[in-house]
Amino acid sequence: MKVVKPSSFVPIEWLWDYKEDEKDIHVVDPVDKSTVVFGIFIIDKFAKDSDKQLQQLIRKVETDFAIWNDYYPWSEYNGISLSLEKLENEMPFIYGQLCAENNVSREEKVLLGLLIMLSKRLDPQMFIRVRDTDGDFIMNEISEALPKEYEFPVACNRLWLNCGKMKLIPLEESCSDGLRPLEALRFLEDSAFKLLDVDTLSNGAIVKMTANFPNDVLSRLVKLQLVIENEKHRQILVENPRLISFLLKSLIDEELSVTDQVSGNNDGSIELLVSEEHADLIPYFFEAKGLRKDTTLIPILCGRAISDVMEKLLRNRTIVVEDERTVKAIREGSLLDLTNFRPASIDLALSTGEDVDLTKDLLENLQNLLDGEVKIEDSLDFDNSDEDASEDLDEGCRKYFEDEGIDIDEDDFLEFFLKEGLKLDDDMIGELRADSVR
């Protein structure tokens, strides 16, 4: 049984950087969830049949990404989608997108690692442009290591992946401003030999970001054992194992009811690959539902919750069983074979105190994050080793929002996270705000 999760197509205009006064003109359709997008271009003025080359190339890319698309536990399930598109000048290219909502910093780096590996095997005239709908995440991460001349908006559309290396269009090309998309492509067609190696300019910033791929990604994956009593639901998970992350995220549902009464017969045990971040949601679920803090009950109780969530998502058609085709079992010894991973180690004890209010604890953690007291890994690279760490991180976060032109205060951000991220209704948000000021 193949499961699909209907999703919106992110317009190709999101592939490019725009100056603030131009963005609203070019990017009309908003995007609800953070999505990484990329374009693969064949830039060769002497090429006679780029369309045919791209059709062959897209099949190669699909093959390269297949094991990751089928078995990596993507947070929004769908994985990396590919399509053939055209720019306004009719130039064809391969367009890819990956919805990475709630796990952007991890999954954008997985995709970047895959694209770098792919790029190493492509011809020199093939260039890849990659960013996400929140901005140019690569430039944001390495900006402090680059010469200051490459600050926004000068850096617009200058960053490209070619032959396995990130490269920059030099400042001599429209040095006073960024480049428009077609200007960047024209430079690549005429003067690609002038491209600058980003690692040379930034003291190896890209190498530091990606040197341990895929080992660093794989080290954050664990095996989660579940008992799925419903045979249909169990079969869906066996044939669509990457669905588990999306189901775990969906456990924050106040209408979900799980009994912790367990009989002696617990048939239906399966193992699934999950990220440590998603496995860490389980203690919060146990706390929120008042379930017994017994780790031996995790497979059966979490399995019941997963089954209940799946039924709700099938009923409201958030996910759909498309056909009866069985997904191939993963080949033994391959990269994402379950035997390569350690079992999940889950500690159900969230706090040493009694009667912990999960929502209050969450609110406090969110406020600490806004105050710069929580380390943001893989997003902003600050040294948090000294007494000024909190102030440095706070200033770094604020500078990031300023650079991106995002005008948002702490209350607005908190309300957005509670409403859009955790799907809390207005009444619950009001209660949380009232509790926080008492």
**According to the model, what pLDDT value does residue 371 have?**
41
DSSP string computed for 252-274: --TT--------S----EEEEEE
Question: What type of residue sits at position 389?
Answer: A
The CA angle 30-33-39, to the nearest 5 degrees, is 75
Q: What is the DSSP letter of 135?
A: B
153: left (phi over 0), alpha (psi -120 to 50) or beta: alpha
Question: What type of residue sits at position 309?
Answer: V
Cα 411 from Cα 427, distance rounded (Å):
16
**According to the model, what pLDDT value does residue 176 have?**
64
What are the beta bridge partners of residue 94? Answer: 40, 84
CA pseudo-torsion sign 377, 378, 379, 380: positive
pLDDT in 10s for each residue of the chain, 438 residues: 888 898 889 999 999 988 766 665 666 677 888 999 999 999 988 877 888 999 999 999 999 999 999 999 999 999 999 999 999 999 999 999 999 887 888 899 999 999 999 999 999 999 999 999 988 889 888 888 888 888 888 888 999 999 999 999 998 766 667 889 999 999 999 999 999 999 888 888 888 888 889 999 999 999 999 999 999 999 999 999 999 999 998 887 657 777 777 776 667 899 999 999 899 889 888 888 888 888 888 999 999 999 999 999 999 999 999 876 655 666 666 788 888 888 888 887 765 444 445 444 544 443 443 343 333 333 333 333 444 444 554 555 555 555 555 555 556 656 655 655 555 656 666 666 655 544
Query: Which is it for strands 92-99 and 126-132: parallel, antiparallel or unpaired?
Result: unpaired
**According to the model, what pLDDT value does residue 175 have?**
62
- 102 and 249 in contact (C-beta within 8 Å)? yes
Token representation of residue 8: 């919106």
**According to the model, what pLDDT value does residue 401 have?**
54
Cα 410 from Cα 363, distance rounded (Å):
12
**According to the model, what pLDDT value does residue 407 have?**
56
User: From start to end of 110-164, where are the E strands?
Assistant: 126-132, 159-162
CA pseudo-torsion sign 326, 331, 334, 337: positive
- The structural domains of the chain, with segments of one domain joined by +, span 6-215, 220-340, 358-436
- 158 and 168 in contact (C-beta within 8 Å)? yes
Other Cβ atoms less than 10 A from the Cβ of 406: the count is: 11
CA pseudo-torsion sign 120, 126, 129, 130: negative
Token representation of residue 339: 């035997």
The model carries a pTM of 0.77
